[in-house]
Amino acid sequence: MILYHVTSRENAASIKRDGFRDTDSGYMNQREHRGVWLTDRPLDANDDAWGDTVIAIEIPLSEAELDQYKWKEEGKAYRKWLVPAAVINKNWWPK
């Protein structure tokens, strides 16, 4: 499955060198969430994604395995997941 992460050019270089890191997010509510946002298509500023670089991640996990990280939002034209960095780095990391 190919998923996408939008970030800055500087962060993309860091990810390539050191792997993903969890970030904190209070997205859509008061609870804190940690992980890395991934989507099923590249997003842009129209989708509230900010950055000039899109990283495509071919991750060998099925949709069923990713379901526990799925972020359900009504009315969006894309799907997204908040996946722990350790899960992504274990399964994908450009060597």
Q: Tell me the pLDDT tens digit for each residue of 28-75.
A: 555 567 899 999 999 988 887 889 999 999 888 898 999 999 988 888
In terms of residue numbers, what domain contains 75? 2-91
Give the global pTM. 0.85
Amino acid residing at 3: L
If you compute the radius of gyration of the chain from its CA atoms, what whole number of angstroms results?
13
Pairing assessment for the beta strands 53-58 and 2-7 based on DSSP bridges: antiparallel
Q: Give how far Cα 25 sits from Cα of 9, 17, 32, 54, Å.
A: 21, 23, 5, 20
Number of domains in the chain: 1
